[in-house]
Amino acid sequence: MQVKIDTRPLLIVILSRWWRFPVFLLLGYAIHYGYGQKPPEGLSLEGYRALLVFLTCLILWVTRLLPLAVTGLFAMVAPPLLGVMPAKEAFAFFGSEPVFFIMGVFILATALLKSGLSTRLALHLLKSGSKSPKRLVLHIMLASALLSFVMSEHAVAAMMFPLIVIISKRLNLSPQGSSYGRILFLAMAWGCVIGGIATMLGGARVALAVGLLQEAKGGTITFAQWTVAMLPLVLVLFVFCYFLLTRFFSIDIETVEEADSAIQSQIRDLGRPVMEEQFLGLLMIAAIFSWVFFGMQFGMASISILAVVLLFMFRVVEWKDLQEKMEWGVILMYGGAIAISSILNSTGAGLWFTKQFVLPHLNSTWMLMLALSLLSILLAEAMSPSAVVAIVVPIGMSVAKQFGLDPKVVVYAVASASGLAYALPMSTPPVALAYSSGYLRMKEVILPASLMALVSWLTLLLTARFWWPVLGIHVGG
C-alpha cells in the first residue's frame, strides 16, 4: 500500500468520507420512527417489524453502507432486538445446512487454489489454444467456464487473471488500444459468469436460494437437478458469448504463438503434480459424484464438510491458509439472509407485502417469471448476486405461493438470473477483475454486455418454457 494525501477542498473530503454518518442517523431515526407506528391493516406487529428489518437490510445491501457480511449479522440480531422473535431462534438460522455447504465448498476452492491444481488445469486447458487468436479466446472461455463448474467464479477469476496478464504482456497487447486484450479479459470474466451458473459450486447464491427454499418448507433442489436445468442456458450463452466477443471486437493480432511459450513456461514452473494435487483431484471427483448421487440421502452440507475433513486429514491445506484466503464474510451474510427470509415467511410479512404491492401488477405466473428474472438480472449489475437472492427470493416465493406456483421455479429463475451480470465492475468479482486490468473501458463494454444480458434473459425464458417442463418444472400458463 502507498500513502496518498487527498488535497481536494476539506468540505468535499469530509462529505466523501463521512456521508455515511448522516445516512446512518437518518436510517436509525427511520427505524425508531417506524418502530413506534401501528402496523397496517392485515399485518401483525411482528410481521410489521420483520418488514422493517427487511427494508433496512435491503437499503444496507443495495447501498453497501456496511459490508454485506455485517448487514448479515445485523439481520440476525435485529429481529430479537425489535421483538420479532427470541434471540435463540434468530441465531439458530446460522446453523442451516446451506451455510455449511457453502463453507465446505469455499474451503475446497481454497484448497484447489493453494495446491496449484486449479492453475494446472487452467494452463492445460489453455495450452492448445495458442494456434490462432480465436482459438485462444475459446480456450480462455472454456477454462474459465469449466473451472467455474467446480469452484466459485471469483476464485477462478482470481486464478485466471494473472495468467491472462502474462499472456497479454507476452503478446505486447497495449491496455490503451488493444482490442484483442479486451477480448481476452472479457472472455475470462464472462466465461466465469456463464460457467458459474452451471452447478451449485460456481456461485454461492444457488446454495443460498436453496437454503431459503428449505427454510420456507418448499422442498429442495439437488445438485444434479440444478445442473441439468441449467445445461441449455449455459451451452447457448457460451456459444453466443464466443461469437459476440470474436465478432463485435476486432481481432487486431495475427498470431498468438508467443502466448504458447508463456503458457509452456508456466507449466514448466509448476513441475510435476505433487501428491496433494493428485489427492485433491480425486477428492473433488468423489465429492461431485456424491453430491450428484447421494446429495438427497446424506445432505449436500454433510458431503462438503466430510470432504473438508479429508482435506485436513491428508494435510492438503493448513488452517492458516483458510484464515487468509477464505471469504468468511459471505458465510455470515448467508446466515443473516436466511434469518430474514424465514421471519418474513413465519410472520406473514412477505405474504402481506406481495398482496399489497406485487400481486396487483401481475396477472399470470409467466408475468411473475418475466419480472423476477429481469429484476434479478438488472439488480445483479449493481449488487452482489447473493444480495439479490436474499432480497428477491423471499418475496418471489410469497408471490409464487399466491399463484399456486412451485417455489422452486423462483429459485431457478432468481438464482440463475442473479449470476448473469456482465457490464459493471460492481456486479461480480470476475467482471471487476477484468476492469482492473486496464484493458476495458465501460463505454466499449456496455453495448456487448447489454446484448449478453438481453440474450441471457431471453434464453432463460426459453429454457423455462421448453426445457424445464421436460424435467418436471412447470412455470404454468
Partner 1 sequence: MTNIALLKLQLLYYGIRADRDLPSPLTNPFGLVHLVLPEGLAVSVHLNENGTDSPFLLRREGTAFFLDVAGKESIPVQWTPPLHSYQQKTSSRVSVSEILTVHGDFIAVHPSHACRFGQSGLSCRYCGSSQDISLHPPFTPRDLVEAIQIVEQEKRCDVVCLSSGHVETADGGIERLEKWVSEIRKHLNVLIALDLVPPETNDWIDRTYAMGVDALYYDSDFFNPNDESGGEPRAIFQKHKARQLEALEYAARIFPTGAVLSHLVIGFEPLAETRASIDLLIDRGVVPVLAYFPPYDGSDLRSRWTATPEAAQEIYAHLYERLVRTRINPHWVQQYDVVLTCLEGRFLSNESPRYHLKLKNFYETRFGRALRFGMARLRRHLRVREVPA
Question: How near is the Cβ of 3 to partner 1 at its closest, in Å?
Answer: 4
Question: How near is the Cβ of 323 to partner 1 at its closest, in Å?
Answer: 22
Q: Does 297 bind partner 1 (CB under 8 A)?
A: no
CA dihedral 63, 67, 69, 70 (to 10 degrees): -100
What distance, in Å, lies between the first and last C-alpha atoms of the chain? 57
Q: Does 438 bind partner 1 (CB under 8 A)?
A: no
Nearer to partner 1, 2 or 297 (CB): 2
Question: How near is the Cβ of 130 to partner 1 at its closest, in Å?
Answer: 31
19-22: list long-range contacts, CB under 8 Å, 24+ apart: 20/65
Nearer to partner 1, 1 or 275 (CB): 1
Nearer to partner 1, 13 or 442 (CB): 13
Q: Does 6 bind partner 1 (CB under 8 A)?
A: yes
Q: Does 14 bind partner 1 (CB under 8 A)?
A: yes
User: Do residues 203 and 152 touch, judged by C-beta distance below 8 A?
Assistant: yes
The residue range among 12-20, 70-78, 350-358, 382-390 that interacts with partner 1, by the rule CB under 8 A, is 12-20
Buried-exposed string 21-36: b where 16+ CB fall within 10 A, e elsewhere: eeeeeebeeebeeeee
Q: Does 324 bind partner 1 (CB under 8 A)?
A: no
Q: Does 313 bind partner 1 (CB under 8 A)?
A: no
d(CA 271, CA 283): 21
The residue range among 8-16, 169-177, 210-218, 365-373 that interacts with partner 1, by the rule CB under 8 A, is 8-16
Which residues within the stretch 373-432 sit at the binding site for partner 1 (CB under 8 A)?
Answer: none
Question: How near is the Cβ of 6 to partner 1 at its closest, in Å?
Answer: 5
CA dihedral 423, 426, 429, 434 (to 10 degrees): 50
Question: How near is the Cβ of 214 to partner 1 at its closest, in Å?
Answer: 41
Q: Does 20 bind partner 1 (CB under 8 A)?
A: no
Question: How near is the Cβ of 331 to partner 1 at its closest, in Å?
Answer: 26
Q: Does 3 bind partner 1 (CB under 8 A)?
A: yes
The x, y and z cell numbers of residue 447, run together, are 453495448
Q: How many residues bind partner 1 (CB under 8 A)?
A: 11
118-123: list long-range contacts, CB under 8 Å, 24+ apart: 118/147, 118/151, 118/155, 118/156, 118/159, 119/159, 119/163, 119/266, 119/270, 120/267, 120/270, 120/273, 120/277, 121/146, 121/147, 122/147, 122/159, 122/160, 122/163, 123/163, 123/263, 123/266, 123/267, 123/270
Nearer to partner 1, 4 or 38 (CB): 4
d(CA 456, CA 447): 14
Give the Å distances, CA to CA, from 53 to 34, 37, 46, 80, 454: 10, 14, 11, 11, 33
- Supply φ then ψ for residue 436, to 5 degrees: -65, -15
Question: How near is the Cβ of 314 to partner 1 at its closest, in Å?
Answer: 36
The x, y and z cell numbers of residue 326, run together, are 477464505
Question: CB 64: neighbour CB atoms within 10 A?
Answer: 14
Nearer to partner 1, 13 or 471 (CB): 13
The residue range among 5-13, 162-170, 219-227, 407-415 that interacts with partner 1, by the rule CB under 8 A, is 5-13
The residue range among 1-9, 48-56, 310-318, 400-408 that interacts with partner 1, by the rule CB under 8 A, is 1-9
Question: How near is the Cβ of 2 to partner 1 at its closest, in Å?
Answer: 4
Options 10, 36, 217, 254; binder of partner 1; rule CB under 8 A = 10
Nearer to partner 1, 3 or 275 (CB): 3
d(CA 447, CA 23): 34
Q: Does 1 bind partner 1 (CB under 8 A)?
A: yes
Nearer to partner 1, 7 or 37 (CB): 7
Question: How near is the Cβ of 23 to partner 1 at its closest, in Å?
Answer: 18
Question: How near is the Cβ of 13 to partner 1 at its closest, in Å?
Answer: 5
- Identify the residue whose cell numbers are 497479454: 168
Buried-exposed string 272-288: b where 16+ CB fall within 10 A, e elsewhere: eeeebbebbbebbeebb
Question: How near is the Cβ of 24 to partner 1 at its closest, in Å?
Answer: 18
d(CA 365, CA 371): 10
Q: Does 9 bind partner 1 (CB under 8 A)?
A: no
The residue range among 3-11, 205-213, 456-464, 466-474 that interacts with partner 1, by the rule CB under 8 A, is 3-11
The residue range among 10-18, 114-122, 134-142, 326-334 that interacts with partner 1, by the rule CB under 8 A, is 10-18
Nearer to partner 1, 12 or 87 (CB): 12
Question: How near is the Cβ of 15 to partner 1 at its closest, in Å?
Answer: 10
Q: Does 22 bind partner 1 (CB under 8 A)?
A: no
Question: CB 442: neighbour CB atoms within 10 A?
Answer: 11
Q: HSE (CB half, 13 Å, CA atoms) of 267? A: 14
Question: How near is the Cβ of 361 to partner 1 at its closest, in Å?
Answer: 45
Contact positions vs partner 1 (CB under 8 A): 1-7, 10, 13-14, 17
